[in-house]
Amino acid sequence: MHAKVAQLASLLIRSYGEAFLPVFNNVFPSILQMLDPSMTDGTKQVAAETFSDVIEVYGINAAPFFPHFVPAFIHYLRPDVDSHPALKQLCAYGLSLLATYGKNSFEPFLEGSVNVLLQGATRTDAKTAELAAATDNMIVAIGSVALYHNRPDLWQTWLYLLPLTADKSEGQKTYSQLCDLVENNEPGLLGSDSANLPKITSVLLKVVRQGEEEWLGNDPELAVFLRRRIYHLLKQMQHLPQDLFAALNVNEAAELIDLLARQNDDDD
């Protein structure tokens, strides 16, 4: 019964927007109960997805609900809590939305969120097949915190957690963000004396290697635009100072040269 209520609530939230908010206030306690540790994994996942809809659609208007369910998101993301990977993914996605749309109402949860996201994204098994999608969403959430809450100290960590490996739906947002930061010469990302440029080059090369069509989004026009941005940045990387270019491994250096040569041929 709880799951059906939550699924119906999600449908109505997306269909009616703020007009449904007074009604949601009445069903909220039942959906919140679904996040109790005694509930099944599936039940908790439905609740987490519903609350993500709440954040995305209502934004700051949902702030009164945040203290009730956000601590549960943080709890299920803790590495020492044996929660289902799909639940971890949904909770990380929810925190990303909260960082994006929650504005100042996110501040009470900022440090707790950052701590569990960093712990989860850097655990030794974070990139395994079982946890990869959850980890990708944690990486995205870290980027959202850095961008919307003035945390440039997180950009370098975010960079070194890339590339994403499982959740293709987050590719366009993430790699557009990376291009923005490089193009704007963000110091927190570039590092001292631009020492992180080899890592940036490595990530962009891996995006290309992963298959652009899969990672650059479903909108063909936006995907083409992002592809051009990536290739333009890679073209600039061939002019790295010798010591930074030498920081690329042999395969990456050869791949960069070959890729740009083929791109020039295509342009001709």
- Sheet strands (E) in the chain: none
Structure-model confidence comparison of residues 96 and 22, the more confident one: 96
For the segment 212-234, the average pLDDT, to the nearest whole number, is 86
Category of 59 on φ-ψ map: left (φ > 0), alpha (ψ -120 to 50) or beta: left
Domains of the chain, start order: 1-157 (1.25.10.10), 162-268 (no CATH)
Residue corresponding to tokens 């707790």: 112
Residue 268 has a pLDDT of 45
| Cβ within 8 Å of residue 94, ≥6 positions away | 48, 51, 52, 55, 70, 73
- pLDDT beyond 70 at 181: yes
How far apart (Å, rounded) are the C-alpha atoms in residues 24 and 69?
A: 14
Report the sign of the C-alpha dihedral through residues 201, 203, 209, 213, in that order: negative
The tokens for 150 are: 């003035």
Residue corresponding to tokens 């940045």: 233
Phi and psi, residue 123, nearest 5°: -65, 155
Report the sign of the C-alpha dihedral through residues 188, 191, 193, 198, in that order: negative
Phi and psi, residue 261, nearest 5°: -65, -45
Residue 256 pLDDT class (50, 70, 90 cuts): confident
Category of 82 on φ-ψ map: left (φ > 0), alpha (ψ -120 to 50) or beta: beta
The tokens for 79 are: 């590495």
Residue 88 exposed, middle or buried by CB count within 10 Å (0-12, 13-18, 19+): buried
pLDDT tens digits for range 46-67: 999 999 999 999 999 999 999 9
Structure-model confidence comparison of residues 48 and 7, the more confident one: 48
Asked if residues 189 and 159 have their Cβ atoms less than 8 Å apart, the reply is yes
How far apart (Å, rounded) are the C-alpha atoms in residues 90 and 215?
A: 20
How far apart (Å, rounded) are the C-alpha atoms in residues 211 and 6?
A: 36
Residue 87 has a pLDDT of 97
pLDDT tens digits for range 109-167: 999 999 999 999 999 999 999 999 999 999 999 999 999 999 999 999 999 999 999 99
Residue corresponding to tokens 């709440």: 54
Instruction: Give the number of other CB atoms < 10 A from CB of residue 8.
Output: 12
Residue corresponding to tokens 């109402």: 105
Residue of 64, 56, 37, 132 whose CA lies nearest to 95? 56
> Taking the model in full, what pTM does it have?
0.92
Percent of the chain with pLDDT over 90: 69
